[in-house]
Amino acid sequence: MQTDDGNCLSSAGMLYVKPQIDNEVVQQNGGSKVTIKIPLLEGQEYDTDMKLYFEDNGEKKGKVWKEYEAELSFEQGNPSYYVFEVSEFKGMNIDKTFGLVCEKTGPEVKIRGFKSSDVCQIYPDEMYLSRGDNIKRRTYKLDEVDLTKEPKVVVVSTDKHGISYLADESMLDLKYRKRKDRYIVKRKSFKYVNSADKTPEKIMCGAINGEEGLVSR
């Protein structure tokens, strides 16, 4: 994951905020702000270098993270939360940069038969996520892959009608072309996503977190 100026972020954590009252989504009034508290994980220390970023579709780089106009702080008297205010809801990320320019050096993943896709590579037993960079039409570049850890590739694709499909595959089972260092995810690997009200981003988050009932098999 990287910022709009190419700097690496230290993680790929993402938070989607959808406020609800009695299961009904609540919209903000014009100009109003909402305070959000994010608890620290057990044993985690508050890091004053953290900043708040939001996801944006860059003109040339695909999806990137831009710094959000917000200050993180402690909850008064309780140093176990990051606290910030927002005036709109977006894909958000509390993170900090490495001070290094990101460059993917791993294999490519080729997606067949869809208008658009989002590609993530994970190790199921680790807190790790690599999001593929769209380097050319339907082709995505990943970070280096350790095949001994049984990596998986998770792909959410959308067809020309705006219908979403999900593929959740072991990279060891995918067709691999050694000459191009490329994995192929075929159209038949995808299953129709049941929830028409979910955005591709929410489908991706649900798949990575093991949400059940996303697809029709």
**What does the alpha-carbon distance between residue 152 and residue 170 come to, in Å, rounded to a whole number?**
4
pLDDT for 212 beyond 90: no
80-96 confidence digits (pLDDT tens):
777 877 777 766 777 77
pLDDT for 197 beyond 60: yes
Quote the pTM value.
0.60
Mean pLDDT of the chain: 79
52-64 confidence digits (pLDDT tens):
787 776 555 556 7
DSSP 184-208: EE-GGG-EEBS-TTS-HHHHHHHHH
